[in-house]
Every structure is written in C-alpha cells, then in structure tokens.
Amino acid sequence: MTKDETKQAVLDIIADIAPDEDISNLKGDIRLRDQMQLDSMDFLDIVMELRKRHNIEVPEADYPNLATLDSCAEYLTPKFAALGK
C-alpha cells in the first residue's frame, strides 16, 4: 500500500465517523482536528476502525502519529506493509 493509499484508507474512516464534514480538501500537513470537528471520542473511532477494518493496533503512546494525514501515512504505511498490504 502506498502512502497515498494509506491516506485514502484513513479518509474512508473519517468519512464514516464525521459524515457531516466536507473532507474533500483536507490538507496533509495540518492537524486533522484543526481542519474539522473531531473530538477525542472521534479520534478513538479512528483507532477502533483501524483495528476492525485493517487489523492495525495503535498503542496510546503512538496516538500523536495520527495527528495529520501525512503523519498517518508515515506511521501506518509500514504497518500495512507488515500485514502484507
């Protein structure tokens, strides 16, 4: 999975957990919660959906790595690769 594909996987999750938001123009290098309404429970949704949909675990200490789309791609792409994706 490329970094762009990883970003798309995260965007697919965000689209479901924040269905009222326009996510078509999210910037990759700006914190997600600065660009849209995303509270701590929503953030836990992202973690949960990564677990459910992709079997990826994100330990609490690593949550800061999910702050932006770019950091998500950096952090998650190797995890997808480790799963053979």
Partner 1 sequence: MSYKPARIVITGVGLTAPNGNTLSEFRQNLLNGVAGIEKKEIRYMGECLAGVCHYDPLKYQKKKELRVGTRAGSISIYCAHEAMIDSGINFTAFPKDRVGIYVGCTEHGNVETENEIYAISKFNYDTKYWSHYHNPRTVANNPAGEVSLSMGITGPAYTIGAACAAGNMGLIHAAQMLRLGEVDLAICGGISESIHTFGIYAGFKSQNALATHVDPLKASRPFDKARNGIVISEGGALYTLERLDDALARGAKIYGEIGGYCVNSDASDYVLPNPGRQAECVRKALVSAGLEAKDIHIVNTHATATPLGDIQECEAIRAVFGEGCPDTYINNTKSYIGHCMGAAGALELAGNLPSFDDLIVHPTINVDDLDPQCALPGLVLNHPQKVGRVDAILNNSFGMLGINSTLIVKRFVA
Binding site for partner 1 (CB under 8 A): 17-20, 41, 44-45, 48, 51-52
What is the closest distance, in whole angstroms, from the C-beta atom of residue 62 to partner 1 in the complex?
Answer: 16
What is the closest distance, in whole angstroms, from the C-beta atom of residue 2 to partner 1 in the complex?
Answer: 28
Which residue lies nearer to partner 1 by CB, 32 or 73? 32
Separation in Å, CA 15 to CA 23, 40, 45, 81: 7, 16, 11, 23
- Pick the closest to residue 58 from 13, 16, 2 (CA basis): 13
What is the closest distance, in whole angstroms, from the C-beta atom of residue 83 to partner 1 in the complex?
Answer: 16
Which residue lies nearer to partner 1 by CB, 48 or 81? 48
Fill in the amino acid letter for 8.
Q
**Kind and range of the H or E run holding 15:** helix 3-17
Which residue lies nearer to partner 1 by CB, 20 or 29? 20
- Pick the closest to residue 33 from 78, 84, 68 (CA basis): 68
